[in-house]
């Protein structure tokens, strides 16, 4: 789990496991961020979110995430976004961008003209059977082997870029570094893009902090 302070320009991290719950998260965050000054908080969450925050517990962490009021816990305004969408926001470089997060599963987000649309492209069927997430996720990589997985990545990037009318594709997640060569009109993102995305969520608030926060980035849930 990683934390970042835009004011201090510092980051910190701690090891998280499959039993991590919101109370333990808050304990670690308060410990690591005690020396930081901050006005607002962005949270990249490994699960489904909506306009009111977390909508269901994640598959790879503990329980109880839907019950916590993060704004009250931090005592600050909080915005929560799926972690793949947060990384996509930080990687965005104009135009229409499709983001694919290659990791345990398959994260996906489309961004155009400051409108961010979290997607679930992993649910799409693949022509050889199963779904995209079953072929491009961690289990698919282990089952297929790198060469077949790489072929699926290249095919998927090309087809989804055309289907979404995207100008370019950004590959993020822990397995993006394994993609070689990169498909046409595709580049790698980085984990630090999530930090940039968290800052972008609040950029208008930071610039005009004497007024209530507004969504300069519109999220379509």
Q: What does the domain layout of the chain look like in residue ranges? A: 2-85+193-219, 92-188
Q: What is the CATH number of domain 92-188?
A: 3.30.420.40
Is 92-188 in the same CATH topology as 2-85+193-219?
yes
Q: Band the pLDDT of 204: cuts 50, 70, 90.
A: low
Residue 105 in contact with residue 133, Cβ under 8 Å? yes
Cβ 191 vs Cβ 87: under 8 Å = yes
Task: Please tell me the predicted confidence (pLDDT) of residue 208.
Answer: 47
Instruction: Give the pLDDT band of residue 211 (cuts 50, 70, 90).
Output: low
The residues pairing with 189 across neighbouring beta strands, listed in sequence order, are none
C-beta neighbour count of 91 within 10 angstroms: 23
Superfamily the domain 2-85+193-219 falls into? ATPase, nucleotide binding domain (3.30.420.40)
Cα torsion angle, 166, 154, 145, 133, sign: positive
Residue 207: pLDDT band (50, 70, 90) is very low
Q: What are the tens digits of pLDDT across the range 88-105?
A: 999 999 999 999 999 999
Q: For residue 214, is pLDDT > 60? A: no
Q: What is the pLDDT of residue 216?
A: 62
pLDDT at residue 144, as a whole number = 97
């Amino acid at each position: 789990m990683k934390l970042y302070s835009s004011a201090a320009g510092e980051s910190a991290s701690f090891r998280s496991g499959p039993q991590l719950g919101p109370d333990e998260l808050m304990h670690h965050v308060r410990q690591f961020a005690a020396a930081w000054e901050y006005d607002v908080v962005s949270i990249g969450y490994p699960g489904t979110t909506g306009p009111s925050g977390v909508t269901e517990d994640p598959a790879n962490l503990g329980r109880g995430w839907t019950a916590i009021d993060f704004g009250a816990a931090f005592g600050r305004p909080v915005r929560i976004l799926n972690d793949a969408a947060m990384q996509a926001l930080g990687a965005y470089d104009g135009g229409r961008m499709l983001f694919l997060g290659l990791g345990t599963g398959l994260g996906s987000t489309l961004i155009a003209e400051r409108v961010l649309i979290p997607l679930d492209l992993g649910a799409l069927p693949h022509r050889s059977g199963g779904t995209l997430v079953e072929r491009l996720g961690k289990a698919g990589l282990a089952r297929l082997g790198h060469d077949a997985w790489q072929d699926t990545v290249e095919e998927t990037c090309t087809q989804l870029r055309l289907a979404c009318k995207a100008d370019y594709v950004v590959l993020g997640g822990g397995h993006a570094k394994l993609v070689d060569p990169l498909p046409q009109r595709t580049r790698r993102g980085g984990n630090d893009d999530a930090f940039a995305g968290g800052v972008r969520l609040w950029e208008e608030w930071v610039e005009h902090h004497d007024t209530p926060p507004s969504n300069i980035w519109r999220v379509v849930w």
